[in-house]
Amino acid sequence: MNKRRRVIRRAISIVMLAVALGFGAAQPAISQRAQTGRADPLPSWNDGAAKRGIIDFVTRVTREGGPDFAPVADRIATLDNDGTLWVEKPLPVEVYFLFARVREMAAKDPSLKDRQPFKAALEGDAAYFHEGGKKAVLELFVGTETGIDQERFAAEARQFLEKWRNPKLDRPFTELAYRPMIELLAYLRQKGFKTWISSGGTIDFIRVFAPQIYGIPIDQDIGTELKLESRMSADRLVVWRLPEIEAINDKEGKPVGIDRHIGKRPIFVAGNVGNYGDIAMMQYSKGRRGPSFQLLINHDDAAREFAYGEKDNASLNAAKKYGFSVVNIKNDWKTVFGAPQAAAAK
């Protein structure tokens, strides 16, 4: 009996995840229930201010004829990736990719072992990168992920992701996404929102996994960008990665990236506490004429994920000052990860 219940529960989990990932389109019964409000669109969220705030907002801006109604063209949602849609600790996934590339390079050129930031990368010295911040990571990025064309880069990134597992959680990249956020993406899309990623990570890396794990197409990714140029390679025009950063999509860079790729202030944004990265994007959304919603994720759950913040609490203070909605993972999320973790948590 117990086994049978577990099987049923597991089957339900899989269906829920499939719906969350956007495979629900072929199941009118379920999506209809969600539309009429009979089903809970955010089952992994505990009932609280954050969940109620999201649902209230989405209901308001999609109610035709209502005072806050926003046409579909204005339903732009931009979400940060590392720490907002998936785990960014011990280090962001992309940094492990850079580490792996340095190891490959060092096998051919041993002198890298004595030069920073390669040395730190080879020794897995996370402290060096925490201290050096984005600048150290970007140096490593320019030192490893350039001098090839875009298609080769994508192939290398794909190859890395297939084998890599998060060293603390021992999970592959496909299981690092926060289940409540996957539900949120699906809910927003079901209500006519166009979901975009706006990440400090590099646009080309995000494109390799975003369609698979978030259902977000590659032309809806915004990220840090390298300088690129057209080049002929064996009679074929390729786009070449130059060793220089063109645009850093972090902090004040995020509204610029959104303007460049979307051309409109987002009505809904989500970001996280930890690196001050999303405050400007939230202010930009808040400056929209008309309704808008900003969601700030606070990583306070060391047991189920990682707990971290900012020394000066800048993001949380901004939330208070401007009226962003704060998600405290410990209390607001019933489940943190996808189906396998959900089963384990029970």
- Total residues binding its own copies (CB under 8 A): 36
| CA–CA separation, 283 and 155 (whole Å) | 36
Per CB under 8 A, which region of 38-46, 125-133, 180-188, 237-245 contacts its own copies?
237-245
Residue choice 94, 204, 278, 305 for contact with its own copies (CB under 8 A) = 204
> Burial of 8 by CB count in 10 Å (0-12 exposed, 13-18 middle, 19+ buried)?
exposed
Q: Rule CB under 8 A: say whether 74 interacts with its own copies.
A: no
Any idea which residue has 């409540």 for tokens?
A: 180
> Which C-beta is closer to its own copies: that of 280 or that of 327?
280
Distance CA 264, CA 276 (A): 22
- Cβ proximity of 344 and 336 under 8 Å: no
Among 37, 133, 287, 290, contact with its own copies (rule: CB under 8 A): 287
Beta bridge partners of 224: 202
Of 163 and 236, the one with the shorter C-beta distance to its own copies is: 236
Alpha helix stretches (DSSP H) within the chain: 2-20, 28-35, 49-61, 93-108, 118-122, 126-144, 150-163, 179-190, 203-214, 253-261, 279-286, 314-322, 329-332, 339-345
- Report if residue 126 touches its own copies, rule: CB under 8 A: no
Of 273, 274, 268, 275, the residue nearest 253 (C-alpha):
275
- Of 54-62, 112-120, 126-134, 250-258, the window that binds its own copies (rule: CB under 8 A) is 250-258
Task: State which of positions 50-69 bind its own copies (CB under 8 A).
Answer: none
Q: Considering only residues 137, 177, 184, 203, which one is a binding residue for its own copies as defined by CB under 8 A?
A: 203
Q: For residues 2 and 230, which CB has a smaller minimum distance to its own copies in the complex?
A: 230
Selected from 6, 115, 165, 264, the binder of its own copies by CB under 8 A is 264
Interatomic CA distance for residues 205 and 221, integer angstroms: 10
For its own copies, the binding residue among 119, 152, 191, 261 (CB under 8 A) is: 261
Nearest approach, Cβ of 109 to its own copies (angstroms)?
29
Q: How far is the CB of 245 from its own copies (least distance, A)?
A: 13
Q: Which stretch binds its own copies (CB under 8 A): 182-190, 276-284, 299-307, 313-321?
A: 276-284
What is the closest distance, in whole angstroms, from the C-beta atom of residue 238 to its own copies in the complex? 7
Options 25, 239, 302, 343; binder of its own copies; rule CB under 8 A: 239
**26 is a contact residue toward its own copies (CB under 8 A):** no
Position 207 contacts its own copies (CB under 8 A): yes
Taking CB under 8 A as the criterion, the residue among 107, 108, 263, 344 binding its own copies is 263
Task: Find the radius of gyration of the CA atoms of the chain.
Answer: 21
Q: In this chain, which of 94, 175, 221, 250 binds its own copies, going by CB under 8 A?
A: 221
Shortest reach from residue 152's CB to its own copies, in Å:
13
Nearer to its own copies, 88 or 221 (CB): 221
Q: Are the beta carbons of 216 and 240 closer than 8 angstroms?
A: no
Measured on CA atoms in the order 132, 140, 245, 267, is the torsion positive or negative? Answer: negative
Binder to its own copies among 34, 39, 126, 228 (CB under 8 A)? 228
Q: What's the rounded Cα separation, in Å, for the pair 189 and 83?
A: 21
SS in 3 state form for 180-201? HHHHHHHHHHHCCCEEEEEEEE
Six-digit token string for 342: 């959900």
Torsion of CA 251, 198, 60, 74, to 10 degrees: 110
**Binding-site ranges for its own copies (CB under 8 A):** 73, 150, 194, 203-204, 207, 211, 217-219, 221, 225, 228-230, 236-239, 246, 252-256, 259-264, 280, 283-284, 286-287
